[in-house]
Amino acid sequence: MQKQEPLLSVRELSVAFKMRDCVLTAVDGVSFDLDRSQRLGLVGESGAGKSVTGFAIINLVSRPGYISGGQVFFEGRDLATFSEEEMRNIRGNRISMIFQDPMMTLNPVLTIGQQMIETLKAHRHISKHEAEKLALSKLQKVAIPSPEKRLTQYPHEFSGGMRQRIVIAIALLTSPSLIIADEPTTALDVTIQADIMELLLKLCEEEEMALLLITHDLAVVSQVAERIAVMYAGRIAELGSTEAIVNTPQHPYTQGLLKALPQKVERRKRLNQIPGNMPSLQERPPGCAFYDRCELRGEICHREIPRLEEKNGGLVACHMVKDAAGKEEK
């Protein structure tokens, strides 16, 4: 039987920002697939282009940015061919997005109920009463106590963790098939982080939703995601199953990231870190973007941008990683 077509398929997606005297490429030829009810983690440091990729998927890159190349297929259809009207029907209906700071993403002058009902009414022909009932059931799903009372309250009456639960409930309202979560737990404190991640994981499994989790936190992503894509300077450096990425990372950047995670170490020992910084958008080198910080770098790395290729069962964009399996076959 033929493999089912993926829910979301991103092909060579590029996003550029048009500045006064130059064009900066923030996302450069990113490709990945996401199957139904699968969870993919998009990891990378600040400025790697993770969030921009997220926004590009729903075609909401804000000016002066624009999608400069590639395609996004959702349920087999190219989103670029959609009209603004059709696109609006995808956003918040088939694809929902959750943002980093729940303090900011809820409108301070509307009650939770109003905001939830409004979302539903934008996508469904539904009576106010039905919408309210649906909103209540979703609030229960995200474990908000006494939801009837909560519906009439304003965002400032909730704590940070509660607000993020509400944001998740709003994202769930229309039973989307994909949720893009952009650093959903970064603004929360650690104990609540774990709760929210667990909740998100549980909901994805129950509602059979796919999840694109954008984060800089490898620990968080390895708990939740089935596959991980590591982004560096606008490109995917490595993509593979969570196990493979965590246990046998191939790309030197991924290896560096994992080493840099705080672990139980002797006192006074400094944490490992990757020397240097990610090159800024203006000064991308002609070859591999990781060249300056890489331990394995060779002469070719300086000249040629490595392509994302299948090596040892995962996808890696590095000239220096050798494909052991491929050699054996020959």
Partner 1 sequence: MRFFKKITGSNLFYNFLRDPMAIGSATVLLFLIVASFGAPLFAPHNPYDQTTIDIMDAELPPIWTGAADADSRFLLGTDPQGRGMLSTMLYGMRVSVLIGVGAVVLQSLIGIIIGLIAGYKGGRLEALLMRLADVQLSFSTYMVAIFISAVFQGIFGMGVYSDYALGLLILVIGFAEWPQYARTVRASVMAEKNKEYVEAARVIGLPQWRIMFRHILPNTMTPVLVISTVQVANAIMSEAALSFIGLGMPPSQPSLGSLIKSGFDYIASGSWWISLFPGIALVVLILSINLLGDWLRDYLNPKLYKD
Question: Where do contacts with partner 1 occur on this chain (CB under 8 A)?
Answer: 58, 60, 62, 88-93, 96-97, 99, 101, 104-110, 118-119, 122-123, 167, 170
Backbone φ, ψ for residue 8 (5° rounding) = -125, 130
> CA 275, CA 70: separation in Å to the nearest integer?
33
Q: With respect to partner 1, which residue has the nearer C-beta, 52 or 230?
A: 52
> What token pair was written down for 163?
């607000």
Q: Minimal distance in Å, beta carbon 90 to partner 1? A: 7
Q: With respect to partner 1, which residue has the nearer C-beta, 155 or 314?
A: 155
Bridge partners, 78 (sequence order)? 73
Q: Minimal distance in Å, beta carbon 81 to partner 1? A: 18
> CA 126, CA 106: separation in Å to the nearest integer?
22
Angle at 164 between CA 160 and CA 169, to 5 degrees: 145
Q: Minimal distance in Å, beta carbon 212 to partner 1? A: 13
Q: Minimal distance in Å, beta carbon 29 to partner 1? A: 25
Q: What share of the chain is helix, strand, coil (3-state, %, to 5)?
A: 40, 25, 40
Q: Minimal distance in Å, beta carbon 168 to partner 1? A: 12
Q: With respect to partner 1, which residue has the nearer C-beta, 38 or 96?
A: 96
Q: Strand ranges (DSSP E) for the chain?
A: 8-18, 23-34, 39-43, 65-74, 77-78, 95-98, 178-182, 210-215, 227-232, 235-241, 309-311, 314-316
Q: With respect to partner 1, which residue has the nearer C-beta, 98 or 224?
A: 98
Q: With respect to partner 1, which residue has the nearer C-beta, 116 or 301?
A: 116
Among 200, 156, 162, which Cα is nearest to 181's?
200
Residues with Cβ within 8 Å of 5's Cβ and at least 6 positions away in sequence, in order, are: 76
Q: Minimal distance in Å, beta carbon 284 to partner 1? A: 27
Q: Minimal distance in Å, beta carbon 154 to partner 1? A: 12
Q: How far is CA 157 from CA 98, 148, 320, in A?
A: 20, 14, 54
Q: Minimal distance in Å, beta carbon 10 to partner 1? A: 18
Q: With respect to partner 1, which residue has the nearer C-beta, 107 or 277?
A: 107
Strand order in the sheet with 235-241: 95-98, 178-182, 210-215, 39-43, 227-232, 235-241, 314-316, 309-311
Task: Answer for the pair 94, 74: CB distance below 8 angstroms, yes or no.
Answer: yes
Name the pairing type of β-strands 227-232 and 77-78. Answer: unpaired
Q: With respect to partner 1, which residue has the nearer C-beta, 122 or 305?
A: 122
Q: With respect to partner 1, which residue has the nearer C-beta, 85 or 266?
A: 85
